[in-house]
Structure 1
């Protein structure tokens, strides 16, 4: 709900600024700096995710994506209408809710839009079970989109990053019992219910 709450507040604030034709050049400049910073972090998150890495924490990437989109909405609310590329770029953030609404109103796109909305706006539920100081087993559930949680091995890497290896437990199953133990220095044994898995680590 955090993602939806933040984006809703930003959208309503932007709408209010548009209606009142608010002008705040200093605030607009500050928001642009923040937007660019969050945009850089969001791009870095995408690059890390493509290589099975991420920032430490279960929702860190989602926070950066949300603040990137939210600041874009706020800047749109403070920007006067124009025909340049910058205004078109900002319109994309403010117009996203209307695109979702249009998709929900059109029967052929309703299911696809609903799945996209849940994927983008719904906060997944994470749980982590520590194996030792460097490794943990993570479960991720995304509402109605996932019947069973996704099991991932999380390894503490460097200072602010962690390596995430997805789908380490197959077949997928609801978590009822869990046992974990390191086998030497190069493998971890994970027992989820009746599923016994040995994962190599390095």
Structure 2
């Protein structure tokens, strides 16, 4: 629940800044620089995700997105009310929890809002089974949204990045016993729960 914890703390801090009408020009400028750097990383993460790539690590992208949104909330709390685009941009971060709350209160939006909330704020559970130095089989479980984990093939790429190929095992099932072995140079044999799956890879 790292995502919810960070965003909750940032929201409460921003609310406190607003109530106390806090003024910290130096901290505000520093936060803007941090926020812009995180915005660049968040944009890069989104671009990589659209192309089935990502930074190394199971939660790296989520951390960038969370810190990006959190710094936006903090900046809203430190910024004086104005009618310019910058203030409206920051208000979007601070107002997001209220949008979710309104969605949960309206019956016709409740289901959609609940799914969106779990998807955006719930930390998925990951587990990786190493194959060799460059490949691993990854399972991802997202709470009540999926009964069984999603299986992905993770390939080490370009020092800081990795390529993720989802749904390499179908149908999905829980892991009870897992064995993996190479078949030649271009395929991998996966034995799981008394069933065999062969997927093509390029070692």
The RMSD of aligned alpha carbons is 0.7
SS in 2 for 1:133: coil
Map of 1:37-186 to 2, 5 A cutoff? 37-186=37-186
Return 5+ residue gaps in structure 1 as ranges: none
Q: Deviations over 1:46-80 (max 9, x none)?
A: 11111111000000000000000000000000000
Equivalent residue, structure 1, for 2:20: 20
For 1:82 and 1:44, the matched residues in 2 are separated by 30
Deviation at 1:182, TM superposition (A): 1.2
Deviation at 1:185, TM superposition (A): 1.7
Equivalent residue, structure 2, for 1:197: 197
SS in 1 for 2:174: coil
Equivalent residue, structure 2, for 1:32: 32
Q: Deviations over 1:76-129 (max 9, x none)?
A: 000000001100000000000000000011111111111000000000000000
SS in 2 for 1:104: helix
For 1:58 and 1:97, the matched residues in 2 are separated by 25
Q: Deviations over 1:169-201 (max 9, x none)?
A: 001111111110111221111122133211111
Q: TM-score, normalised by structure 2?
A: 0.98
For 1:68 and 1:99, the matched residues in 2 are separated by 18
Q: Deviations over 1:125-154 (max 9, x none)?
A: 000000111110000000000010000000
For 1:192 and 1:49, the matched residues in 2 are separated by 28
SS in 1 for 2:147: coil
For 1:22 and 1:104, the matched residues in 2 are separated by 32
Deviation at 1:35, TM superposition (A): 0.5
SS in 1 for 2:188: strand
Q: TM-score, normalised by structure 1?
A: 0.98
SS in 1 for 2:148: coil
